[in-house]
Amino acid sequence: MKNIFLLLSFFCIIPIISSQELVKPPKPFGPLPTQKQIEWHEMESYAFIHFSLNTFTNKEWGYGDESPQLFNPTALDVRQWARVAKEAGMKGIILVAKHHDGFCLWPSVYTERSVKNSPWKNGKGDVIKELAAACKEYNLKLGLYLSPWDRNNPEYGKPAYVTYFRNQLKELLTNYGDIFEMWFDGANGGDGYYGGANEARKINTLEYYNWEETYKLIYTIAPKTLVWGVGPSEARWIGNEEGRANQTNWSLLRQKDELAGKVHYSEFMSGHEDGERWVPGEADVSIRPGWFYHAVEDDKVRSLDELVDIYYESIGRNANLILNLPVDRRGLVHENDEARLKELVATINADFETEVLAGSKVSADNVRGNNVQFTAQNVIDGDKNTYWATDDNVKTASIIFDFNQPTPVNRILLQEYIKLGQRVKAFTVEAKVDGQWKTIAAETTIGYKRILRTNRVIASALRVTITDSKASIVISNIQAFNAPIFVRAPEVKRDKNGEVTIKSEAGNSIYYTVDGSDPSVKSILYKKPFRYNKAVEIKAIALNTKENISSAIKRAKYGVSKEKWKIVSISSGDLNTVNRVIDGNPNTDWSFGSDTAKLPQEIVIDMGALLKINGFTYVPQQVGNALNLIANYEFYTSTNAVKWTKQSQGEFSNIKNNPIEQLKIFTEVKARYLRFVAKSAVEKGQTVSIGEINVIEGH
C-alpha cells in the first residue's frame, strides 16, 4: 500500500516538474546590446580629462600654431586624477590624447608636435603611459579621445592625413593596454594653421575618414574597445553638452539614417523607438563652463544642485555620464572641483542608503508560465541575471510591493533585462496612502536604468504598472529609497541698476552675506529685494525650516552695476531694443546684421566711467532654437571713443554645442568705451544675437 502511494505521488509530481521545465525564457526582441556594450552600461559614470597645450594658452580650441614648449606642468600627478575619479565613484577615465590643435600627450613617432618636444620631463615623458599605470593601480578602465580634426597638420583634408590619423590610432591601441572606449569628436574641418597655410579646409566627415575601414582597423587591433561618436559607432552623443538625456530615452538608433545625414543631433537625446541598432547614449558635460582649465573659472564650478540634476537626468535616464575634470596648469584636478565632487558623492550616497523594497512582500498579476524562474521576487533578489517576466502575449502587467508598516519613499529605481532588448514604452508608479492608490509617477522608457525622484509619500504598498511594452515584460531590478530632503540653493539675480533679488523654494528661509563670509542662520535674513551697485560676491543659503536642512552655498559675483552704461552706436539692428545687451538679464537678447547689413557688425558701449578691466564676456542668446551665435569676434577699448585699441580677437570655440557665456581675458587696461565686433556667424548666416555683454574688472 505504501509503495502504491509513493508511486501515485511520483506521477503527480511529474506534470508539475514538466510544466516548470517547459516554460521557455522570453525570446530576444529587437536590437540587442553586445557583451561589450552591456559592460559599458554597467560602468555608468567615468571621468573626462581635458589637459593639453590649451591649458597653458587659456584656449578652448587651439589654432594649431602653438609651440610644444608651452606644455610644462609643474606638479603633474596622474595618480591624483585616478584617486579623485575613484573616490567620486567613477569606473574609468577618458583622456584627451590629442585635441584639435594636434598636440599629442604621448611621444608619437609620426609627429614632432608632442610631449617629446616639451620641457616637461625634458621631453622624456608620456602622460598616457603614466595614466594607464595609475588606472590599473586604482582599478579604473582607461579610455582615449583622439581628435579626427587636426588644425596643425599640413596634410589635413588630403588622403595622407587619414593614414597619419590611423597610424596614431595604432599607437594608442597597441602601447597602453586595454582601451575601454575610443572617443571621436564630431568637430571636423574649418580654420587652422595647417603647417602655415592658415586657411579653412572643408571635408565630408562621413566620407573623408572612411569610418568603416577605420573601425575595422580598431576592432582588429582592439576588439574590446567600444567606439563612440562619429561613423557606425557603438554609443552615441546625447545631443548636448549639458549632461542630460530626455525622459524618453531609447538605447536604439536609426543609424543607417544617421550615416546618411537624415538624423538631426537633437534626436540623440531620445534615441529612436524604431532604431535598427543598439547605440546607447552617453551624456557629456564639464564640471566648469569650459572643457579646458581657465583660472578665471575657479569660482564657476557647477553647483551641487546642477550636478545632482545631471546625475538623475543622465544615469537616471538610461545614459552613461562622462563628467569632465579640466586639469590645471600644475597638472592636478583643482581643489574646488574635487571639493564639489565630494559633495556630490555624499549626496548621491545618502539618496541610495535606505532601500525599502528588499523586505517587502512581492506579487505580480502575471508571471511567465507561473514558473518560479520568472517570479516577481526576482526584482528584489539583488541578482542582475534574474528577472520577472510575463507571458508572450502580456504587454501590460503590475507588480506590487506590500510593506509590513507604512514606509516613506521618494526614489524609484527600475532596470530592464537588456540582454533581451529594450521593451517598455510606458509605466506608472502608484503608492498606497491611507488605503488609497495614488499615482506618483507616469513615465515612458526604462532601459538599462531609470531613476525617478518623487515627492515623499508614506506608503503601505507600491505598485509599478507597465502600461505599454513592445513585447512581453522583462524586468531585472526594482528598488525604492527614502532619500533625505534636498534643499536647492537659492537663485540670485541683480539687474542693471543694482537691485538684488533672491528666490528659493516655497517655505524656505534665505540667509545671505555681502562681505565674503559663508552664510549661516546668523547672517542677514532676506526679506525683500535690496540695492547693491558696487562690486560684490553675494553668498546665500536656503533653509528648510521644517526639517532644519540647509542648501549648498550659492555664490554670485558681480562687478559695478551697469546703471551708467549706455549704447553709443550700433551698425544695424533695432535701436529701441538694443539695451537688452546691457540690462543684466541673460534671457533677453538683441539681434543685428541681415542680408542687407552683412557681417561684420558692431556695437559701441559707454560704461559711464573709467574702469580697470582685464576681459569681457559674450553671453549668447539663451532662449529659442535658432540662437544666431557669433563665431568670430573682435573687441576694442577706448578712454575717449576716438582712439581704439584692439584687446582681443578670435573665435568662440565650440559655442555651437555649448552656447554658454564666452569669456576672454587680456592684459588689464583702463577703459570707458567698448567696441564689440561680430565678424562671422556659426551657421554662416548674416544675423547674430547677443544676450549680454559684460566686462571682467581688474583689481
Q: Report yes or no: 225 and 177 within 8 Å, Cβ to Cβ.
A: no
* Residues sharing a CB contact under 8 Å with residue 203, sequence separation 6 or more, in sequence order: 157, 188, 189
How many Å apart are CA 269 and CA 250, to the nearest integer?
9
The count of C-alpha atoms lying within 13 angstroms of the C-alpha of 151, restricted to the half-sphere facing its C-beta, is 19
What is the mean predicted confidence (pLDDT) over 8-32? Answer: 67
Is the predicted pLDDT of residue 14 greater than 60, yes or no?
no
All three cell numbers of 566, joined, read 549706455
* Residues sharing a CB contact under 8 Å with residue 371, sequence separation 6 or more, in sequence order: 19, 20, 23
Helices (H) and strands (E) in the chain, counts: 11, 35
Residue recorded with cell 529609497: 481
In this prediction, what percent of the chain has a pLDDT beyond 70?
Answer: 97
What is the mean predicted confidence (pLDDT) over 642-669? Answer: 93
What's the pLDDT at 10? 45
How many Å apart are CA 650 and CA 680, to the nearest integer?
10
How many Å apart are CA 132 and CA 106, to the nearest integer?
12
Output the CA–CA distances (angstroms, integers) from residue 408 to 82, 220, 358, 439, 457, in the order listed.
37, 52, 14, 15, 5
pLDDT-derived band at 657 (thresholds 50, 70, 90) equals confident
All three cell numbers of 53, joined, read 597645450
pLDDT-derived band at 224 (thresholds 50, 70, 90) equals very high
Distance from chain centroid for Cα 310: 7
- Backbone angles phi and psi of 457, in degrees to 5: -125, 150
What's the pLDDT at 623? 75
Q: What is the pLDDT of residues 333-381, one digit of tens each?
A: 999 999 999 999 999 999 999 999 999 999 999 999 999 999 999 999 9
Which of the residue ranges 18-27, 392-401, 412-421, 653-662 would you say has the lowest mean pLDDT?
Answer: 18-27
- Between 625 and 240, the more confident residue is 240
Is the predicted pLDDT of residue 9 greater than 70, yes or no?
no
What is the mean predicted confidence (pLDDT) over 291-296? Answer: 92
Q: What is the pLDDT of residues 144-159, one digit of tens each?
A: 999 999 999 999 999 9
What is the mean predicted confidence (pLDDT) over 259-277? Answer: 95
Rg, the chain, Cα only: 29
- Expressed in percent and rounded to 5, the helix, strand and coil fractions of the chain are 25, 35, 45
Is the predicted pLDDT of residue 1 greater than 50, yes or no?
no
Is the predicted pLDDT of residue 8 greater than 60, yes or no?
no
Q: Report yes or no: 304 and 282 within 8 Å, Cβ to Cβ.
A: no
How many Å apart are CA 305 and CA 313, to the nearest integer?
12
Is the predicted pLDDT of residue 5 greater than 50, yes or no?
no
Is the predicted pLDDT of residue 18 greater than 50, yes or no?
no
What is the mean predicted confidence (pLDDT) over 648-675? Answer: 93
Residue 5 is given by DSSP the state: H
Do strands 252-253 and 277-278 pair parallel, antiparallel, or not at all (unpaired)? Answer: antiparallel
How many Å apart are CA 462 and CA 255, to the nearest integer?
38
All three cell numbers of 625, joined, read 532654437
- Backbone angles phi and psi of 108, in degrees to 5: -60, 140
Q: What is the pLDDT of residues 156-215, one digit of tens each?
A: 999 999 999 999 999 999 999 999 999 999 889 889 999 999 999 999 988 899 999 999
Mean residue pLDDT across the chain: 94
Output the CA–CA distances (angstroms, integers) from residue 581 to 137, 623, 676, in the order listed.
51, 14, 11
Output the CA–CA distances (angstroms, integers) from residue 143 to 78, 95, 252, in the order listed.
14, 6, 23
Residue recorded with cell 530632503: 485
Does the predicted model carry a pTM greater than 0.85? yes
How many Å apart are CA 151 and CA 201, to the nearest integer?
9
pLDDT-derived band at 120 (thresholds 50, 70, 90) equals very high
Residue recorded with cell 575601414: 213
* Residue environment code for 463-478, b if the CB has 16+ CB neighbours within 10 A, otherwise e: bbbbbebebbbbbbbb
Do strands 141-146 and 92-98 pair parallel, antiparallel, or not at all (unpaired)? Answer: parallel
Q: Residue 476 in 3-state DSSP?
A: strand
Q: What is the pLDDT of residues 80-119, one digit of tens each?
A: 999 999 999 999 999 999 999 999 999 999 999 999 999 9
How would you classify residue 8: left for phi > 0, otherwise alpha for psi between -120 and 50, otherwise beta? alpha
pLDDT-derived band at 21 (thresholds 50, 70, 90) equals low
Which of the residue ranges 204-213, 309-318, 623-632, 634-643 would you say has the lowest mean pLDDT?
Answer: 623-632
How many Å apart are CA 113 and CA 195, to the nearest integer?
11
How many Å apart are CA 295 and CA 285, to the nearest integer?
19
How many Å apart are CA 212 and CA 604, to the nearest integer?
51
> Measuring CA to CA, which residue among 661, 678, 573, 665 is closest to residue 620?
661
What's the pLDDT at 4? 45
* Residues sharing a CB contact under 8 Å with residue 2, sequence separation 6 or more, in sequence order: none
Give the number of other CB atoms < 10 A from CB of residue 112.
Answer: 10
pLDDT-derived band at 13 (thresholds 50, 70, 90) equals very low
How many Å apart are CA 408 and CA 485, to the nearest integer?
12
What is the mean predicted confidence (pLDDT) over 529-552? Answer: 94
User: Which 3-state string (H, E, C) describes 428-472?
Assistant: EEEEEECCEEEEEEEECCCCCCEEEEEEEEEEEEEEEEEEEECCC
Residue recorded with cell 569632465: 324
Q: What is the H or E stretch that residue 635 is in?
A: strand 630-638
What is the mean predicted confidence (pLDDT) over 71-78? Answer: 97
Sign of the C-alpha dihedral computed for residues 676, 597, 651 and 556 taken in this order: positive
Give the number of other CB atoms < 10 A from CB of residue 655.
Answer: 18
What is the mean predicted confidence (pLDDT) over 58-65? Answer: 92
Q: Spell out where 314-448 has E strands.
A: 319-326, 361-364, 388-389, 397-416, 424-433, 436-443
How many Å apart are CA 67 and CA 154, to the nearest integer?
16
Q: What is the H or E stretch that residue 163 is in?
A: helix 159-175
In this prediction, what percent of the chain has a pLDDT beyond 90?
Answer: 90
Q: Report yes or no: 335 and 107 within 8 Å, Cβ to Cβ.
A: no
CA 398, 404, 406, 411: dihedral to nearest 10 degrees?
-50
Q: Report yes or no: 62 and 71 within 8 Å, Cβ to Cβ.
A: no
What's the pLDDT at 2? 41
All three cell numbers of 674, joined, read 567698448
